[in-house]
Amino acid sequence: MKQARQFVPRREFLYSLGASLGSVALSSLLSAEEPTYRGANPLAPKSGHLPAKAKSCIFLFMEGGPSHIDTFDPKPKLREMHLQEFHRDGEDKSAMESGKRYFVESPFEFRKAGRSGADMAQNWEHLAGVADELCFYRGCQAESVNHPTALYHMNTGNRFGGDPAIGSWVTYGLGSENQDLPGFIVLPELAYPQGGAANWSNGFLPAHYQGTPLRPQGSPILNLQPPAGITPEHQRANLDLLAKLNRRHMEENPGNDELAARVDSYERAFRMQMQAPEIFDLKSEDARTLAMYGVGDESTDAFARRCLLARRLVERGVRFVQLYAGTWDSHDYIHRAHTSLIESVDRPIAALIQDLRQRGLLDETLVVWCGEFGRSPDNGVRGGVAYGRDHNAKAMTVWLAGGGSNAGHTIGATDELGAEAVEAVHPIRDLHVTLLKLLGLDDNRLTYFHAGRFKQLSQFGGKAIGELIA
């Protein structure tokens, strides 16, 4: 009797070949089986809708909600109100509020920095040196006082998650200038921000556009090197065999374009093995550059490495890089907490801007600094003993640098206590529309048909904040 042939399912066979690639295909590369894929490279560079200076974006996210009152928006009136009892309307209360609450003055002294006279707390020692490169915006308002929903909102335009991140929209609209790396790369801390990977999800967009997180410790990518004994020639032979089998399969099953997307992912992963190690190795940077960023100093090393890597990535054509610095949620002991936090990011951020300028990259790189919301003018928890601040969706500070932003200006204002934005007031969706415009994208034209309608980052439209654009 003739023995029946045993068939291995195609998907299992593909994954077995993938193992010989050292499993390097990242989540954003390996999950690229998209029914909308038609053989063209989805990350190929594309022209924007509008003329723009910015070609890439570095997004510095201070997770937890930095206090605008204690960083870039001084409020002398709070000295008069210090420790007077404070009341907030019930609709904006945070779950953290309890007991008696008091107005709290800032523990930080402020100064005017640069020719532009930008307001900065004095412990922004290094950032003050690039003050004239910055455009401060004090009119932005969020819609949530809870971290996960506020993070989702700032990152995706949707407070409840599930939608594409702004980095996904940008790479969908512009592609990437480096086909050997993901177009959207995320540099998180060891602990992910609240809401996790949904903060850089592709949502309903094809998976090519999701953010690829790199590990903050050890090798940035697990299994970047192939297993022992597996040579590049062996990997190349496997891919060639896979391509041959795929061509035969597609001839038998015309119109099956999921397979082409999967093969493209393996090819990019293979090319990434060739390029990524050199990019992630900071030893090629000279000693002066490493010192400028603060690499090697205990207080700055972690964020310095992420900032320097961000520069190296955009320098090599990655479209959107997002960096996280967490624990800005200072409900108490704000002087101690914000002093340490500012020290950890001050020198690296200033160095990033200086470095981009020196290399001729700042004009074409949009740098964004923000948190998910601001802080309230009152003591957050400990009743006038360990001063802190609560969450505040009605007031915050965002600043931009490079990429056609209005350098050397402060736009908008909050009231005399810093409780609410009162000039140039705009919601987050308008900030998103502005960032897209600086990158040459029109939010009303950057749409994707999903669930029966065309969707966009702003959810239902917005307007650019003209004062932020040079």
**Higher local confidence (pLDDT), 404 or 18:** 404
The mean pLDDT value for 171-198 works out to 95
What is the predicted pLDDT for the residue at 223? 52
| pLDDT for 228 beyond 90 | no
| pLDDT for 383 beyond 70 | no
| pLDDT for 307 beyond 80 | yes
Residue 196 DSSP one-character state:
G
Q: Domain spanning 55-223+283-468: which CATH class is it, in words?
A: alpha beta
Cβ proximity of 325 and 60 under 8 Å: yes
Region of poorest pLDDT, from 108-117, 328-337, 409-418: 328-337
Single pTM value for the model: 0.85
What is the predicted pLDDT for the residue at 31? 38
The mean pLDDT value for 195-201 works out to 97
Confidence of residue 274 (pLDDT cuts 50, 70, 90): low
What is the predicted pLDDT for the residue at 23? 38
Q: Round the average pLDDT of the chain to a whole number and report it.
A: 85
Region of poorest pLDDT, from 117-126, 259-268, 301-310, 353-362: 259-268
Residue 69: which of 53, 82, 87 has the closest Cα? 82
What is the predicted pLDDT for the residue at 35? 38
What CA–CA distance (Å, rounded) separates 378 from 383? 10
**Higher local confidence (pLDDT), 221 or 283:** 283
| pLDDT for 382 beyond 60 | no
Confidence of residue 15 (pLDDT cuts 50, 70, 90): very low
Confidence of residue 241 (pLDDT cuts 50, 70, 90): confident
**Higher local confidence (pLDDT), 94 or 196:** 196
Q: Which residue reads 């045993």 in tokens?
A: 6
**Higher local confidence (pLDDT), 381 or 312:** 312
Confidence of residue 462 (pLDDT cuts 50, 70, 90): very high
What is the predicted pLDDT for the residue at 52? 97
What is the predicted pLDDT for the residue at 219? 61
Residue 301 DSSP one-character state:
H
**Higher local confidence (pLDDT), 215 or 400:** 400
Q: Domain segments of the chain: what residues?
A: 55-223+283-468
What is the predicted pLDDT for the residue at 225? 55
Write the CB contacts of 416 (distance below 8 Å, at least 6 apart in sequence). 75, 77
What CA–CA distance (Å, rounded) separates 181 from 323? 17
Region of poorest pLDDT, from 4-8, 112-116, 151-155, 297-301: 4-8
Cβ proximity of 322 and 370 under 8 Å: no
Nearest 5°: phi and psi at 453?
A: -155, 160
Bridge partner residues of 455 (DSSP): 448
